[in-house]
Structure 1
Amino acid sequence: MEFRKMGSSPVYKLEEDGHDYESGYASGSSSNAELPEIYFTKPHLAFLNRQFQNLEPQEILQWCLTSLPGLYQETAFGFTGLTSLDMLSKMKTPRPQTVDLLFFDTLHHFPETHDLINRIRDRYPLVNIHIYKPAGADSEEEFARQHGERLWETNDELYDWLAKVEPAQRAYKELKVGAVLTGRRRSQGGQRGDIPVIEIDEAGLVKVNPFANWSFKQVNEYIKANDVPYNELLDRGYKSVGDWHSTKPVEEGEDERAGRWQGQQKTECGIHNPRSKFAQFLKEQEMKKQSAALHQALESEEEAKITS
């Protein structure tokens, strides 16, 4: 099995074909050779995850800064992402600013979330925030005109693709993203219950979950102890904040993400789902489109025969 990120972006490969590749930079035959690919063997990933189990998030973040080119942080400005941002801002690094942030604005976020972004810019003036929106839309109203009202109810897979997955893939390509930091934790439950600290997706993107071992209590305590700005909704019973239409406060004792997509059989928005799932979805959508066009053409041909 081989994971490859194409183009001029950093390339990561997970080799399982029997070759004994070392993780790290492959040797080049010339000092002027093109930047070599980076290899991660399956045993080395397992080794890293065993080591990371015993490290604090700050230590994992430091490893990321020195080991992963093309590193960005994906965030919706939840407690964990804000904790990561604050930790990175306090690290002594040769770069003049912290890791750039990626925020995927679905156009359906709470006003409180956008207010928080402004406060983050004030608190961390050196951080760059790259905001990606659905293609061709700059507002919730524009999105509805293009794709119909309440698309998340009529076709949630299409909504995920348009509002989150496609903007993410566009960002990876345009910014030459090779690795991302996420705020996922095992204590959040659902599909996150057994995530490793470091993983590689189907396209070769390295995903690091520095806080995989932390609980909500730990990130909450860090936020309060370090006076980190946070979303006001978290003081109103919310523990995980996403789109306004799919986020509710949670009850005492409920899972942290119980307020997301209530009544639906899903725990992820799509960004962290396998990309092949959405490739298959797009294929099915295209087949439906072609089928509808063929049906319409046949109906028009039949009507022409009747009227002639």
Structure 2
Amino acid sequence: MPSRSSPLYDIGGVSGQGGESGYVSDSGSEASLPELYFTKSHLHFLNRQLQNLEPQEILQWCITTLPSLFQTTAFGPTGLATLDMLSKMKIPRPQMVDLIFFDTLHHFPETLNLVDRIRKHYPLVNLHTYKPKDVETATEFSEKYGERLWETNDELYDWAAKVEPAQRAYRELHVRAVLTGRRRSQGGKRGEIAVIEVDEAGLVKVNPLANWTFKQVQEYIKANDVPHNELLDRGYKSVGDWHSTQPIQEGEDERAGRWKGQQKTECGIHNPRSKFAQYLQSLKQKEALQSDLQISA
């Protein structure tokens, strides 16, 4: 959480200006509208209220409250349940929540097949796909960064395949708030997530199914005939890139098949942005040092 109040969204310019009543109506000039912020106490209050609501009620609150709202998804079970819930709401077409899919170029064929099925099943939903910058295929990615980058430099892999595309998407699409598929029952760093969060850059992240278990998600998908990844029928519970995802054993945590044998539990998109800022700074310093050494030689 930033040290000052976190910006929810910018709805104008000068703070403290308005009509004589002290309120600003929708008909007022845009320049007179103040910025709206989440204070820590306001965020705490909202989480207390949202905590007791069903996912559909949380989504309804998001749609009526948060401007520039998108759903980020890798088409996992939770994201698919969220998408289906949204499709069943009485939302005017201009207010439909667009999807953002980060194609790392290393997804399973089953995942990419699911994307095509989702397009057909939910034809009214806009899908924005973002890939690593300046590459279109896994071969091009390897040519640019080297073979098996996820093993030689996993931080650079997370940055190139996921974090940079995410930041580019948020910038180009003017994203102010996102719906995620994170749940507490997934364990790891997700075990204590709130329903609504604000990251270091002021991006609002809402986890509408934070309270649900994997079983509840499964039951919803089955009851509503939601298309799902075929890998879920083969022992997978959480599906990411093919090189870092395995089926899990009975009794293991839901995300135990992700980065098995490693300490990491997140791909980078939900890690603090400062972590990657520090990494990029160290990378620049290393490149500068190598350049100086070559010049002196």
Same-fold call, TM > 0.5?
yes
Specify the alignment match of 2:29 in structure 1: 32
What amino acid is the match of 2:237?
A: K
Q: Is the 8 A contact 1:96 1:126 kept in 2?
A: no
User: Helix, strand or coil: the match of 2:227?
Assistant: coil
Q: Distance in 2 between matches of 1:268 and 1:164?
A: 11
Specify the alignment match of 2:10 in structure 1: 11
Moved more, 283-292 or 39-48: 39-48
Which one of 263, 279, 282 corresponds to residue 281 of structure 1?
279
Q: Is the 8 A contact 1:3 1:201 kept in 2?
A: no
User: Helix, strand or coil: the match of 2:259?
Assistant: coil
Q: Is the 8 A contact 1:78 1:240 kept in 2?
A: yes
Q: Is the 8 A contact 1:197 1:208 kept in 2?
A: yes
Q: Distance in 2 between matches of 1:96 and 1:233?
A: 34
Deviations 1:190-215 (A, max 9, x none): 00000000000000000000011000
Using structure 2 for the length normalisation, give the TM-score: 0.92
Q: CA deviation at 1:94?
A: 2.2
Matched, 1:2 2:4: yes
Matched, 1:192 2:182: no
User: Helix, strand or coil: the match of 1:193?
Assistant: helix
Structure 1 unaligned segments of length 5 or more: list them: 13-25, 300-308
Larger radius of gyration: 1
Deviations 1:141-163 (A, max 9, x none): 00000000000000000000000
Q: Distance in 2 between matches of 1:105 and 1:127?
A: 18
Q: Distance in 1 between matches of 2:236 and 2:69?
A: 29
Q: Is the 8 A contact 2:5 2:38 kept in 1?
A: no
Q: Distance in 2 between matches of 1:62 and 1:214?
A: 17
Q: Distance in 2 between matches of 1:203 and 1:253?
A: 37
Q: CA deviation at 1:98?
A: 3.0
Q: CA deviation at 1:95?
A: 2.7
Runs of 4+ in 1 over 3 A off after TM superposition: 9-12, 26-30
Which one of 80, 83, 86 corresponds to residue 84 of structure 2?
86
Q: Distance in 2 between matches of 1:173 and 1:220?
A: 34
1:1-308 equivalence runs, <5 A: 1-2=3-4, 10-11=9-10, 31-34=28-31, 36-95=34-93, 98-299=96-297
Deviations 1:166-204 (A, max 9, x none): 000000000000000000000000000000000000000
- Report the count of equivalent residues: 283
Q: Distance in 2 between matches of 1:219 and 1:253?
A: 18
Q: Is the 8 A contact 1:71 1:180 kept in 2?
A: yes
Structure 2 unaligned segments of length 5 or more: list them: 12-21
Cα root mean square deviation, aligned? 1.7
Q: CA deviation at 1:3?
A: 5.7
What amino acid is the match of 1:232?
A: E
Using structure 1 for the length normalisation, give the TM-score: 0.89
Deviations 1:83-120 (A, max 9, x none): 00000000012235631001000000000011001100
Specify the alignment match of 1:22 in structure 2: none
What amino acid is the match of 1:11?
A: D
What amino acid is the match of 2:44?
A: A
User: Helix, strand or coil: the match of 2:30?
Assistant: coil
Moved more, 82-91 or 96-105: 96-105
Q: Is the 8 A contact 2:176 2:204 kept in 1?
A: yes
Q: CA deviation at 1:298?
A: 1.2
Q: Is the 8 A contact 1:103 1:130 kept in 2?
A: yes
User: Helix, strand or coil: the match of 2:163?
Assistant: helix
Q: Is the 8 A contact 2:6 2:39 kept in 1?
A: no
Q: Distance in 1 between matches of 2:65 and 2:124?
A: 22
Q: CA deviation at 1:27?
A: 5.1
Q: Distance in 2 between matches of 1:3 and 1:77?
A: 33
